[in-house]
Amino acid sequence: MNRPSGVAAIGYGATPYYKRGQSPHAERKLLLMAIDEAARMGGIDAADIDGFVSYGADLEDGPRLTAPLGTKELRWSSLVWGGGGGGSAGAIAQAEAAILSSQAETVVVYRATAESTSGRLSSAVIQGVFGAQYRAHGIDSPVQALALRTQRILEGAGVPRSALSAIARASYFHANHNPGAVGEAIELTEEMYEQSRLVVDPVRLFDSSRENDAAAAIIFTSAERAKDLTDKPIHLLASAYGADGPRWGEMDENHEPYIASSQASAGRRIWARTGLGPSDIDVMQLYVNFTGPPVSAIIDLGFCTAESAGEFLTFENLIAPNGVLPINTSGGDMAEGFLHGMGNAVEAVRQLRGESSNPVPGAKTCFVSGGPISELSSAALFSTEPLD
């Protein structure tokens, strides 16, 4: 049997982004509906999906889905271990590994979260995440830890505040054209950004994403099979996850380099595998839990340096259709809806299929950065064409 030479996405599905706690459906039902939508688009029977991958301690493991999907054979079920949303593109890498090795043939990558199942964020996500070195001092929320790192990006590395606001404004600008995006009706101006309240200095309200109840899924198969199933296969050119050691991991704010996103390792391997580089990227989907981490990611991936970040990260450069590097063309984590990064990969496939609400004319490549400054990070590169 010949092993596949490449992997492609054949379909995606996403539920609406409900306010946290307001989904009319249970978490698993949301997910099943997202998978069904992806299967319909991909021209397959959902029962033919034989691999399941998620990340970030998702509760919906593969064996919980096989009965309602009528799965004919389960061949792969895995979760990216560690890193929270940093594993968002790592789940894609596990799907790629499963397909290229012929462990599985049709793999769905997904994320689902609803308060009715996963509980309140304060108990499901926050409580117990931070160790004694944080909690003894009044630090027990992701925004506080990310604010420490963001402050160092600003005061330590000298990146101007305008880089953060450009990320936020580009996200909302794209959401303004995306019906159903949580930020559809918010036209974020520089003045609104500057006047928004400080939550944890230096992080303002408009520097922050807020989790939604939602589910999203992408179905992958071999590139060879994909072209028989859909006229719009989106090729996964490369994916990778990990981090550069030795001083990276769960280190109570002692990781080095401190303001890095942990994207350098995954990014380096993506460029090496594909022979492509930042100048070859037409569209970018960046993980934005807060606006500091995507600035680090852009620097780590080689699009600019800390010194040139202010010049490169401007609203005009980051918006579709004509920006130098349009980012988060659905509105992204911040303004479309926050599903711990899963929406970014969905938008990458959607954009390259020509179905984005903010199309980038002629876009052939889209980079997905799963890097929220976490212990483990990930990236994926999609294209309308396979590698030569």
Partner 1 sequence: MANERDQVHPFSARVDAPYWDGLADGTLKIQRCDSCREWRWPADWRCGSCGSYDLGWEVVEPTGIVYSWIRTRQPFVAAYADLVPYVNVLVELPQAGGARLMGLLTGDTDDVEVGRRVVGNFQPASARTIDLPVLTWTLEAA
Do residues 166 and 314 make contact, with C-beta atoms less than 8 angstroms apart?
yes
Report the alpha-carbon distance of residue 127 to residue 140 in Å, rounded: 7
Scanning residues 226 to 285, which ones bind partner 1 (CB under 8 A)?
246, 250-254, 258
Report the alpha-carbon distance of residue 46 to residue 203 in Å, rounded: 42
Q: How far is the CB of 27 from partner 1 (least distance, A)?
A: 22
Report the alpha-carbon distance of residue 89 to residue 104 in Å, rounded: 18
**Is 138 a residue that touches partner 1 (CB under 8 A)?**
yes
Q: At what angle do helices 142-151 and 292-300 cross, to 10 degrees?
A: 50
| 3-state class (DSSP) for residue 332 | helix
Residue found by looking up tokens 């061949």 in the block = 75
Report the alpha-carbon distance of residue 229 to residue 224 in Å, rounded: 9
Which of 106, 377 has the CB closer to partner 1?
Answer: 377
Instruction: Using the CB atoms, write b or e for 80-115: b if 16+ within 10 Å.
Output: bebbbbbbbbbbbbbbbbbbeeeebbbbbbbbbbbb
Q: Given the rule CB under 8 A, which of 25-33, 131-139, 176-184, 361-369 is the region that contacts partner 1?
A: 131-139
Which of 132, 185 has the CB closer to partner 1?
Answer: 132
**Is 151 a residue that touches partner 1 (CB under 8 A)?**
yes
**Is 160 a residue that touches partner 1 (CB under 8 A)?**
no
Q: Given the rule CB under 8 A, which of 29-37, 152-160, 298-306, 333-341 is the region that contacts partner 1?
A: 152-160
Residue found by looking up tokens 């599903």 in the block = 339
Q: Can you tell me which of 73, 155, 187, 316 binds partner 1, judged by CB under 8 A?
A: 155
**Is 135 a residue that touches partner 1 (CB under 8 A)?**
yes
Which of 55, 130 has the CB closer to partner 1?
Answer: 130
Q: Can you tell me which of 98, 143, 159, 376 binds partner 1, judged by CB under 8 A?
A: 143
Which of 201, 231 has the CB closer to partner 1?
Answer: 201
Residue found by looking up tokens 């981090």 in the block = 243
Contacts of 103 (CB under 8 A, 6+ apart): 51, 75, 76, 97
**Is 144 a residue that touches partner 1 (CB under 8 A)?**
yes
Do residues 328 and 347 make contact, with C-beta atoms less than 8 angstroms apart?
yes
Q: Given the rule CB under 8 A, which of 130-138, 212-220, 299-307, 325-333 is the region that contacts partner 1?
A: 130-138
**Is 197 a residue that touches partner 1 (CB under 8 A)?**
yes
Q: Can you tell me which of 63, 160, 195, 198 binds partner 1, judged by CB under 8 A?
A: 198
**Is 3 a residue that touches partner 1 (CB under 8 A)?**
no
| 3-state class (DSSP) for residue 311 | helix
Would you give the DSSP letter of residue 308? T
Scanning residues 200 to 219, which ones bind partner 1 (CB under 8 A)?
200-203
**Is 134 a residue that touches partner 1 (CB under 8 A)?**
yes
Total of residues contacting partner 1 (CB under 8 A): 39
* Positions that interact with partner 1 (CB under 8 A): 128-141, 143-145, 147-149, 151-152, 155-156, 197-203, 246, 250-254, 258, 375
